[in-house]
Amino acid sequence: MSSASTQPAFDTVTVSAASVACDGDVANGLGHPRVFLDLTAEGKIVCPYCSRTYVLAEGAKIGHH
- Per-residue model confidence as pLDDT tens digits over 10-60: 789 999 999 999 998 877 667 899 999 999 999 999 999 999 999 999 988
pLDDT at site 27: 72
Alpha-carbon dihedral sign for residues 62, 39, 31, 9: positive
| More confident call, 1 vs 12 | 12
Fold (topology level) of 4-56: HSP40/DNAj peptide-binding domain (2.60.260)
Strand-pair partners of 19 = 38
The one-letter amino acid at 56:
L
Which pLDDT does position 9 carry in this prediction? 58
d(CA 65, CA 62): 8
Residue 3 is predicted with a pLDDT of 45
Global confidence as pTM: 0.74
Fill in the amino acid letter for 28: N
